[in-house]
Amino acid sequence: MVYMCLRLGLRPIVAAYRREKRTLLSLMYLAHVDEIPTPSGEVKGLLLLNTENVHRLCRESLTLGQYLSSGGKAILNYEFDLGLVLEPFIQLRLLSRLLVAQFGE
């Protein structure tokens, strides 16, 4: 996957973080589609985030139900608990910071 993306000229965002005295790397690719995306079979759900959603998820505690009821979009292939608190991983937190650095809040 990584090799194919690099051959196509797509560059990942690489986030490095430490856990249990080890440095770990996490890759994230940004995508844009003009049609509704189709998740692969093993994916149980996708949150379709715009810039405002990215910042909001990183600033405040938000459940899946709150995200959806406030107009957030998702493709869910599983019946998730709507009370589930959405926890942004380091990649999303990094993306929020990069967007602020590039465009301001």
Q: Please report the pLDDT score of residue 1 as a whole number.
A: 46
**Sites in the chain below the pLDDT cut of 50:** 1-5
DSSP letter for 87, please: -
| Alpha-carbon gap, residue 97 to 59, rounded angstroms | 11
Q: Please report the pLDDT score of residue 9 as a whole number.
A: 64
Pick left, alpha or beta for residue 100 (phi over 0 → left; psi -120 to 50 → alpha; otherwise beta).
Answer: alpha
> Contact 74/46 with Cβ under 8 angstroms?
yes
Q: In sequence order, which ranges of the chain are alpha helices (DSSP H)?
A: 2-7, 51-59, 64-69, 90-103
Residue 77 Cα to chain centre, angstroms: 17
